[in-house]
Amino acid sequence: MFLNLWYRLNYFLHDFSGYLIFILISIIAFVFASFKIYRSNLSENKKKIILASFFVIFSIILIYSGLEAYFRYRFDESDSLGFLKVNGKWFERHVVFNNYFVRDRNFESKKEEGRIRIGVIGDSIAMGYGIKNVEDRFSNILEKKLKDEKFNVEVYNLGKSGYNLDSEVKEYNSSFKHLDFDIIVWEYFLNDAQPKEKDEGTRVLLREQAQSELMQVISNYSYFFDYVYWRMAARYDKTFKELRNADMNAYKDPENFSRHKDNVISFINQLKKENRKIVVMVFPFMAFLPDYPAKDIHRRMSEIFKKEEVEPIDLLDDLKNKQSKDLVVSRYDYHPNKFVHKLAAERLYDRIVPLLK
């Protein structure tokens, strides 16, 4: 315990040293200036005005430093665009990677005899972006529910933030295929059609994340300033809308949609040849419910999956009449919250149990 406290104290003194030195200098300057003013020949009224001004400046320094410490060490919310520095702190606190560089316990290559191994493929939703405790992710809830019912199963979560279908398939084939899964749960999101080589969503993020040199320098030194800057920037909501439009346009482009459809079918056929049972779960854009603009894309993708004899679980059916604020992690993280993960786990449980009997 004492070693942990020493580590935390040492980290704080090193990380916050610039502000601590500035506060110390401010205290010394305030005391020295107060003494000089008190001993000066100025009138009492002038002394009071100058001392009050110094006190206000000193108070602002202390308040700003306190807010800076709060956003560095206590504030604990994720940011789905990844613009804010506090998002990095959230990852440091809650995201631990395993021996396969995914957010889960360590994976065993050899499967225990008689055990059913389930692999969850997906992006930041599967990874549990914004979910602090991995036990609140749909994959972990699913595993617990199955084990509680005495099924001999293990669920490995392979999700990685920022991935689309092309990335997921490549990663599966290069890193996870040998793990000998019996069932693949495919978390499908409506940015999966973005082509890796022409990812418009990435271009939107890079463009909107840009800051002036001055703002960038200040943001690098202050988590509080960085937070206020992005919260006041009108670009934030604008970026979400541009990302949605870029994702939807990828499905509207006939050539790109044909390519994506072929890739979906190809991956399904590959999994079937490997004797994997396939369960697809489609997540909607949580941020744009209930006036949902992508119903037609859900329908088109559902038709593709059904034609390949893979009946998808479309969560839009469960969430279409709900308000987005009740489904997302926070105001500035539009990933699904614990309620949606629990719902997803229940739907998966109902679909997977018959496959285990």
- β-strands 277-283, 313-314: how paired? parallel
Question: What are the CA-CA distances from residue 178 to residues 58, 97, 109, 173, 304 (Å)?
Answer: 62, 19, 7, 8, 27
Instruction: Output the pLDDT for position 234.
Output: 65
Q: Treating both helix axes as pointing N-terminal to C-terminal, what angle do 235-252 and 200-209 enclose, rounded to 10 degrees?
A: 170
Q: What is the pLDDT of residue 198?
A: 63
Q: Which residue(s) pair with 185 in the sheet?
A: 120, 279
> Is 115 within 8 Å of 318 (Cβ atoms)?
no
Query: Is residue 216 scored above 90 in pLDDT?
Result: no
**Alpha carbon separation from 241 to 81, 193, 247, 248, 343 (Å, rounded):** 12, 17, 10, 11, 26
The model carries a pTM of 0.90
pLDDT over threshold 90, residue 137: yes
- When pLDDT is averaged across residues 168-178 and rounded to a whole number, the result is 96
Stretch 257-266: mean pLDDT, rounded? 96
The β-bridge partners of 134 are none
What value does the mean pLDDT of the chain take? Answer: 91
- Report, as an integer, the average pLDDT of 324-336: 92
Q: What is the pLDDT of residue 197?
A: 63
**Confidence check: pLDDT of 203 > 90:** no
Q: What is the pLDDT of residue 206?
A: 64
Per cent of the chain over pLDDT 70 is: 95
Q: Is the pLDDT of residue 150 over 90?
A: yes
SS3 254: helix
State percent of the chain over pLDDT 90: 70
CB 219, CB 211: distance < 8 Å: yes
Determine the pLDDT at residue 5.
Answer: 75
Q: Is 328 helix (H, G, I), strand (E, B) or coil?
A: strand
pLDDT for the residue 59:
93
Confidence of residue 155 (pLDDT cuts 50, 70, 90): very high
- Pairing status of strand 153-157 against strand 116-121: parallel
Q: Which pLDDT score, from 0 to 100, does residue 342 have? A: 98
pLDDT for 238: 81
Lowest mean pLDDT among 33-42, 132-141, 208-217, 321-330: 208-217
More confident residue, 3 or 300: 300
Q: Which fold has domain 85-201+224-356?
A: Rossmann fold (3.40.50)
What's the pLDDT score for residue 39? 82
Higher pLDDT, 140 or 33: 140
Residue 180 has pLDDT above 80, yes or no: yes
What does the pLDDT read at residue 305?
98
Residue ranges per structural domain of the chain: 2-73, 85-201+224-356
Residue type, 86: V
Give residue 96's pLDDT. 96
pLDDT band at 308 (very low <50, low <70, confident <90, very high): very high
**Burial class of residue 229, CB neighbours in 10 A (0-12, 13-18, 19+):** middle
pLDDT for 1:
61
Tell me the CA distances in angstroms from 170 to 115, 187, 353, one per residue in order: 26, 15, 29
Does a cis peptide bond (omega within 30 degrees of 0) precede residue 254?
Answer: no
Q: Average the pLDDT over 317-328 and give the result.
A: 94
Among 166, 252, 236, smallest CA distance to 204 is for 236
Q: What is the mean pLDDT of residues 252-258?
A: 93
Range with lowest mean pLDDT among 23-32, 37-46, 278-287, 300-309: 37-46
- Sequence-separated (6 or more) residues with CB below 8 Å from residue 9: none
pLDDT band at 237 (very low <50, low <70, confident <90, very high): confident
Could you tell me which residue, 66 or 194, shows the higher pLDDT? 66
